[in-house]
Each structure stands twice: as C-alpha cells, then as structure tokens.
Homo-oligomer: A and B are copies of this chain.
Amino acid sequence: MSEDRISLAHGNGGRLMRQLIETHFFAAFDEPALAQGLDATPVPATGGNLMMTVDGFTVQPLEFPGGDLGTLAANGTINDLAVCGARPRWLTLSAILEEGLPVEQLARLVRSFAEAVRGSGATVLAGDTKVVPHGQGGGAYLTVTGLGETVRGGLSFAGIRPGDKVLVSGPVGDHGTAVMLAREDFDLRGDVRSDCASVLGLCEAAWALDGLRFLRDPTRGGLATVANEIAQATGQGIRLSEPCIPLHPATTSVCEMLGFDPYYLACEGRVVAVVGPEDAGPLLEAWRALPEGAQAAEIGQVAGDAPRVVLETEIGGERLLDELEDDPLPRIC
C-alpha cells in the first residue's frame, strides 16, 4: 500500500488515519483544542457553555436493516455531543448528492434525519445541497455539524486513573455487521440489525455520577479502537474481559463465518464509559434500567502498565487488540 496516496485505511479510525490527521490537519491549524482528540470541542467565547462537533457520513448502502444514512447522520452527531457532556441543540446539514439518486429515496433519508433530530430536542439551523455528476458521489453523502449546550463538564482522557472500570451500554459490532450483510457482494442473510440510535439517554444517566471520567461511542474501528484511543491518550493499559463483552449471537455467527472480529466493527448506538470503581455499580444499574441499556456490562478496567489493550479470553489466555491497520469495511458510517 503506497503511503503517498489516500487509501481506505486512511479513513478507518486506526493508525494511518490518526497519522494523516496529525500530520496534515492539526499541523495546518495549530489549534490546541483539536489535538485533544475529543468528539466535540468547547466554543471559546461562550466559556465552554457551547460545544461543537462535525461528522461526515458515507455509509453504503444508503438504507440497511435498523437504519439509514439519515438516522445515522443525525444520531452520529447527537452522540458525539452527548459523550462530551452536551445536550444537542442546533445542527447544520450539508448534502452532497449524486446525479441519478431517486428523489423519493432522498426524501426518505431526509425524513429519517429530521425525525431523529426532533427526538433529541435539537433543530436544524442551516443547510446546503450540492449535486455531483453520476459516478462521482456514491449516492449521497451527508455532513452534520452540531452545537450543544454543555450540561456535564470535566469529561476527558485526563481524569482516567488506574483501577477505573470500563463499561459498555450494550452488544457491540451490530452496525458494522448489519451494513456488511446489506451489501450485495455478500450472499448471506442474517437477522442482525444496526444498533443505530441516540445515546443521549444513556449519557444523561452517566452524567449524574461524580465518578464518571470519560464517555465515547465506539463507531469506526469499534470497541477495540476506543480502547486503543484511551490507552494512547492516557499512557495506561486497558484490560478487557472477553466473556463479559456483550455480543448478539447472530453477530457472533456472522463474524465467525466471514472472519471479522466484532470488537473492531462499528456500533452506532452504544457508549463506552470509564468510571471510578465506586461508580461502576451505580452506572450499570442506571443503564440497565433503560431499554437501550438492558444488556449493559462492566467489561474491563484501566491497568497501569504499558499503553496497550489486552483481551483476557474465555479460556484464560491473553490477546493483544492492536490499533487498526487495514480498513475492514469502508463506507461503514
């Protein structure tokens, strides 16, 4: 793989993407807030009262079991604000449409988007539409910027300590698996649905706890990538317990059949929390009381050794969960 041209791995959430962004974006902008690597950034003149985030969405196919490009774009942005302690308030939507897209399909995607936005209590303040010639667009790309009001401050990598617990709000890997199955080049049908949903309710439950250190939604690159981001940002190791990580059996089967590792596959409606040990129980209880958190679990802890992610397997072995190199699934979100 040539390193002087953009490859799919530059978009997978892993090492090449991180290096591309650090070398060519952070360097050009020289803005310290960017380099913190959080999902949203405080808007300075508002004293941190407002948080801002942006996300581009290129999922293929545009509609899949459990969601579509519209729900994905709305919830992805809502979730990036929520995990940073902010309630989503105002959004902008930019649509890049490919010539030939059925107008009725566009209408469905926009309605899905609008419904998810309304459900979060946010409103759309500005929009833009561009059309690119047939063959240059992949149907439709949406980019959503979100402005949210900070409710819970102090969430960052900096608060994470050895001994903190790692929790996840539900089964992992469903979105990645569902999208993969929905692509025509796999001749498989399963009953896996994307978990695409707002995590605002789950985050609100977590904001209430003093011992909450950090939240992140495990999208591109999945749970393993979030764990690696925490390890790199804190210099601490992360130990995850394989038997504790919730997985839908259908997702496990498909992944085994196709040779994918569900820990690296995107979720779009789950959240990973790091909390002080005293708050692991209360958070688990609060999450399990919500329908979207019924299968929440404590899955590991911060262990103060080398900054790497170790998976303790069912039979007592250990497996290193490395940073992603190649992209397992382009256009997953």
Contacts and interface: CB of A to CB of B under 8 A. Distances in A.
Interface of A: 3-12, 17, 20-21, 23-25, 28-31, 33-34, 40-41, 43-46, 52-58, 89-90, 92-104, 106-107, 110-111, 113-114, 117, 123-133, 135-138, 141, 143, 145, 147, 149, 327, 330-331, 333
A149 B8 CA distance: 38
A10 to B, nearest CB: 5
Contact of A58 (B11, B93, B96, B126): B96
Contact of A131 (B8, B89, B103, B110): B8
The residue among A23, A25, A101, A107 with the most chain B CB atoms within 10 A of its own CB is A25
Binding site secondary structure of chain A: mixed
Contact of A127 (B9, B25, B330): B25
A101 B6 contact: yes
Chain copies in complex: 2
A126 B53 contact: yes
28 contacts: A3-B103, A4-B102, A4-B104, A5-B101, A5-B103, A8-B99, A10-B97, A10-B131, A21-B129, A24-B106, A25-B110, A28-B110, A34-B126, A41-B126, A44-B90, A45-B149, A52-B126, A54-B126, A54-B145, A55-B128, A56-B94, A56-B128, A56-B129, A56-B143, A94-B145, A96-B96, A132-B141, A136-B331
B130 A58 contact: yes
The 4 A-B pairs at the shortest CB distance, nearest first, are namely: A11-B131, A54-B92, A145-B145, A136-B138
A34 B8 CA distance: 36
A234 B92 CA distance: 26
Contacts of A45: 89, 149
Contact of A123 (B11, B31, B123): B31
Contacts of A106: 6, 24
A318 B95 CA distance: 38
A333 B128 CA distance: 12
A34 B127 contact: yes
Nearest to A114: B28
A32 to B, nearest CB: 10
Nearest to A4: B103
A23 B103 CA distance: 11
Contacts of A127: 21, 25, 29, 34, 54
Nearest to A103: B4
Given A21-B129, A40-B126, A54 B89 contact: no
Given A43-B147, A110-B25, A132-B331, A125 B6 contact: no
A103 B23 CA distance: 11
A8 B126 contact: no
A145 B6 contact: no
Contacts of A137: 136-138
Contacts of A33: 125
A255 to B, nearest CB: 22
A10 B129 contact: yes
Q: Which of A23, A92, A110, A130 has most B Cβ within 10 Å?
A: A130
Given A55-B128, A56-B128, A130-B11, A29 B123 contact: yes
